[in-house]
Amino acid sequence: MLTAVINIWLARRKGREEEVNRLRGAFAEAFAAYSAYKEMPYAVRRRRADTPAEERVRLSEVLRDIQSKLAYHLAWTKIESETVGTAYADLVHEVRMTAGIAMREAWETGPINSDAAMNIPPTIIDLSTLQPLETAYIDAVRRHLRSLTPWWNR
């Protein structure tokens, strides 16, 4: 009887650990989708000048893919945790505003055509306003995962 109880407890513990690891990976994927969008202003500025039409299509397709991932993760995080979902929605809203403006400006500027111009200073693309929201999202994820971990494993 004792062996059966121990085996059941170990199986439940392993299942809980696997669930937390799955969620950790899914929350990291959501952050990766956000990060990909955040990097798009740099990609637009660094687009190839020799094939402008192809670059427009390529970057548009990349952006479309990122947008669909953001939409998925917005819904998923909200379903998984109201707190994490709200933090992620705030983060995505701000990156769409900040990086969206920077992308628009990057499209209106010609592509980079020198090695020296590859270093893009914060005076051209400033994404510093995103840092507090990144921290808020990570903190929300940490709290959510911690709430799923039994007190004796913390």
Domain boundaries, the chain: 25-153
Asked whether residue 23 carries a pLDDT value surpassing 60, the answer given is yes
pLDDT for 54 equals 96
Amino acid type, 24: R
Alpha carbons 131 and 125: distance in angstroms, whole number: 14
Residue pair 83/143 in contact (Cβ under 8 Å)? The answer is yes
pLDDT for 86 equals 98
Asked whether residue 68 carries a pLDDT value surpassing 90, the answer given is yes
pLDDT for 150 equals 65
Asked whether residue 146 carries a pLDDT value surpassing 70, the answer given is yes
Give residue-wise pLDDT tens across range 85-112: 999 999 999 999 999 999 999 999 989 8
Alpha carbons 52 and 30: distance in angstroms, whole number: 30
Inter-CA distances, 20 with 27, 54, 81, 150, Å: 10, 42, 13, 11
The model carries a pTM of: 0.85
pLDDT for 78 equals 96
Inter-CA distances, 66 with 4, 5, 59, 70, 137, Å: 48, 47, 10, 6, 19
pLDDT for 11 equals 65
Asked whether residue 57 carries a pLDDT value surpassing 90, the answer given is yes
φ/ψ of 153, rounded to 5, equals -100, 0
Among 52-56, 102-106, 114-118, which stretch is predicted with the lowest mean pLDDT? 114-118
Mean pLDDT across the chain, nearest whole number? 90
Alpha carbons 135 and 12: distance in angstroms, whole number: 32
pLDDT for 52 equals 93
φ/ψ of 132, rounded to 5, equals -60, -35
